[in-house]
Each structure stands twice: as C-alpha cells, then as structure tokens.
Chains A and B, each alone.
Chain A
Amino acid sequence: MKTIYLDNAATSFPKPPGMMEAMNSFQRDIGANPGRSGHGRSIDAGRVMYEAREALAGLFNIDDPLSVVLTKNSTEALNIVLLGALAPGDHVVTTGMEHNSVMRPLRYLASRGVDLSVIECSPQGDLDPADLQKALRKNTKLVVMTHASNVTGTIQPVAEVGRMVRQRDGVMFCVDAAQTAGALPIDVEDMNIDLLAVTGHKSLFGPQGTGALYIRRGLEKRIAPLMMGGTGSRSEFEIQPDFLPDKYESGTPNALGFAGLCAGVQFIVGQSLRAIREKEKLITAAFLQRMEGCPDVTVYGPAEADRQTAVVSFNVRNVTPSDAALYFEEECGILCRPGLHCAPAAHRTLGTFPQGTVRFSFGFFNAPGDADAAAEAIRDLLKG
C-alpha cells in the first residue's frame, strides 16, 4: 500500500534533495565547531551558520542577519522571549488559539506573579483585534500570538495587531510562526513584528532540531538569556556577552542542522513563496470542497483555503479521532495526527476539548490526487 503523508504540520516530509546534500557535505567536508577555533574549517562552519541567518533574514525582510538567533526549534525561541522578558508584576496578552509552546511557559509565569490575559477567539479560531486592544494595560509588556493555528490553520490578523501594538510605547510584539514560516509571507517591518519565533523542520524544509528567533535590535537589552555558557566570543570574561546573537547562543550549536535549514530556505526562494502557497492552497481547497455537504463530517476552523494554512481539522460522526487515524493508516496508508495537537487552549475554543480532532496537514510535496485519496478514506471509514 502506498503511504500518503498528511502530517506536515508536525514536521514536513519529504525534504528537498538539496537539504540532505547540504548536511552530507557539511559533515563530510567541514565538520568543525563553528566560531570556536579560528582554523579554516571552523570558519567554514561559522560561515554555514551565518548563511543560514542571512537566508532567514532575507525571507522575513530582516535587515541585520545578526539579529537572527539560531535555536533548536520555535519552542526554545518562544521560551527565550517569555521567560527572559517577563517578571512578576508585568502584564502579558495572548489568544485562545495558542500552542502549549506559548501556553505552558505563560501558565508557569502566571503562577509566579505575571499577569496573564488570554483573549477569546471565535469558534472558528479567529481573533478580533479589537478584543485584544481592549486588554492592553499600562503594565502590558508583551503581546504574544500565533500567526496561524496548528489545529485549524486559521490565519490570524497579525499585521493589524502589530500596527496596534506598535502605537503603544514599550509593548513588545512576539509572533509564533511555527506553522507559517515558509508557508505564508512574513515581513517583520510591514507587520511590525518585534520578535519572531520560527521552527526549521516544518515549512522551512530544514531538519528537526533547528529553529530561529528574530529579536529587533535594542530589545536584547530587555530579554535575559535562557542559557549561558561558551559562545566562542569574549572568552576572557566570565560573564555572558550582551550582544546579538551570542547572548542567546551558548554551547556548540547544531551547525549540521543549519546547513540543512539554509538549503531548505534556498529551496523556498527558488520555488518562490507565492508558488508554494498557491500549491498548498489548491490542495487544501480541493479537500475542503470534497468535505462540503458531508453531514457525517464536521470540519473545524474557517473551512476556506484563503483563510487558513494547509491544515484541516475534522471529526467523523461516532468515531473517535484516534480510531479514525488508526483506520486511515492501516486501511488507507494515510499518516495523520489525531488528538489535541499540544494545543488544549485551541481545542477549548473550538469546542473539541478533550476528545480532540483528526488533523490532515498537506504540504508542498503532496500530489494533487492526495486530496481525493484523503476524501476517499473518510468515505470508506463512514461506509464502515
């Protein structure tokens, strides 16, 4: 049986051939510690890291590649911001559609005296920016929100919120772009994003264990590092460097992974983000269309390809998400993700907590026919 991979929102598969070639070549021909030793291959390894920063900076319209901190994933990037910027007495605003990479650090901080406002979203997962504006206070230090839900794909009005937050002195705006970096256009200037957290292994086509955090220049003064240690810079001092990116990059990094991530981003630029988005939109629209008028299937979220990423969450009447997913894999060769998708807050908003949903997430490498196969699998399950 042919396997159809519909779990791209968890991690993209397959990857572009250039990504694997870049990693192979790094380990075969360079393989040294970046920025530690000063010999030729150490410098080459450092150059690989620098090229990855530059590629990401180019994709998100970031003017200074050195303000791109390389991390192991978006969770680390978000934790740097949340744990590093918020102290008891500060107020932070987020939405009811967040992943646990935002909610768990925030709930922890709330238990330590940080004031937390969670803005409710519609049952489709949409945020009304006006509701968020009303929540801003004198002591608000940060607004943090997802660019698109990992459960329903709902695209949030990040640019509107960014514009609003920019008008408030001293409030930082952090966007969790784990689901959108490489899938939707992101411009940190146009969207007034101060802090952008991305992961490398989803739509950026890098390997797992890579991610990045953009920190708008100057804000590094307001964000403490999550970890401290060797950076290869200022070795004579026993205190952590205070400049970007070294302040947040202690210990030997995953240079091998960033060689792959850089190639992944170059693949996106080569294909063009617009073409990637169009292709993903087409397959999402095709699947959604096949679900229309299907009384036994409930689709959550916008159910409109223009308003969501290539992620569709649904439930089949009288079948639990886990049973459905098992059926799809065993009988149809479809790999997907059932349950709560690490986002209990979002499922509460959608009314699907605690049973969750089945999530099909398409990617650039899915064939157009995969939407038909996905719809067919659901019909087969209903026929029982």
Chain B
Amino acid sequence: MSGSESHAVILLESVSHALRAEKILKAAGIRCKLIPVPRQLSSDCGVCLRIAAADGERAAGVLAGRLDYFNIAPLEK
C-alpha cells in the first residue's frame, strides 16, 4: 500500500469483528491494516480495516456470509 494508492476502509461492528475480518482477509491474500476509524466516516472510537480500493470487491466477497455486518467506504485523502 503505497502513499499514492487510493484506499478504502471496511467498517465493522467492533474491534473483535475487525480482528476476525483481518484474519479472513489475510488468509485470502488481501493486504489490510487496522487503523482508527476516520472521523469523517464515524464518530466511533473503534478501529477499521484499510485496504487498497482496488481490493474492495474481492474483500466484500470473502467477508460475505462470515460477518453479519460490514460496510466498505472509500477513504478520501
């Protein structure tokens, strides 16, 4: 994930869910990083997963059915 790459974030219900999602994504070979939830997306104090924007669709595919709730949003610079 270089600085010029565009990113998306996956918002989840809690840090436990984020850690589960991280494991699932890594097992599927999708690079991701846990970061604090950006203020413009939510006032939640938790964490979310940052991925390359290009991986969004594939990430949604792997997580579907394994986590009840997640939302993928583009990350503005």
Residues 49-66 of chain B, each 1 if its beta carbon lies under 8 Å from chain A, else 0: 000000000000000000
Residues 38-76 of chain A, each 1 if its beta carbon lies under 8 Å from chain B, else 0: 110011001101100100000000000110000000000
A interface: dominant SS? loop
Contact, CB under 8 Å: B42 / A246:
no
Contact, CB under 8 Å: A234 / B44:
yes
Additional A-B contact list (10), CB under 8 Å, known A50-B19, A66-B20: A35-B14, A35-B16, A36-B45, A38-B34, A46-B15, A66-B17, A231-B14, A232-B15, A234-B14, A241-B14
A81 to B12: give the CA distance in the assembly, Å: 26
A34 to B34: give the CA distance in the assembly, Å: 13
Contact, CB under 8 Å: A243 / B34:
no
Q: Which residues of A contact B13 (CB under 8 A)?
A: 233-234, 241, 243, 246
Q: Which residues of B contact A36 (CB under 8 A)?
A: 45
Task: Across the A-B interface, give the 8 residue pairs with the lowest CB-CB distance, nearest first.
Answer: A38-B36, A35-B15, A233-B14, A50-B19, A46-B15, A235-B45, A236-B43, A38-B47
CB distance from A230 to the nearest CB of B (A): 9
Interface residues of A in 109-148 (CB under 8 A from B): none
A356 at the interface (CB under 8 A from B): no
Interface residues of B (CB under 8 A from A): 13-20, 23, 34-37, 42-47, 68-69
Contact, CB under 8 Å: A232 / B43:
no
A252 at the interface (CB under 8 A from B): no
A65 to B42: give the CA distance in the assembly, Å: 26
**30 A-B pairs in the complex with CB atoms less than 8 angstroms apart:** A34-B15, A35-B14, A35-B15, A35-B46, A36-B45, A38-B34, A38-B35, A38-B36, A46-B15, A50-B19, A50-B20, A50-B23, A65-B20, A66-B16, A66-B17, A66-B20, A231-B14, A232-B14, A233-B13, A233-B15, A233-B46, A235-B45, A235-B46, A241-B14, A243-B13, A243-B14, A243-B69, A245-B16, A246-B14, A246-B16
A37 at the interface (CB under 8 A from B): yes
B19, B34, B35, B47 — most chain A CB neighbours (10 Å): B19
Interface residues of A (CB under 8 A from B): 34-39, 42-43, 46-47, 49-50, 53, 65-66, 231-236, 241, 243, 245-246
CB distance from B27 to the nearest CB of A (A): 13
With A233-B13, A234-B13, A243-B68 already in contact, the answer to whether A43 and B20 are too (CB < 8 A) is: no
CB distance from B63 to the nearest CB of A (A): 13
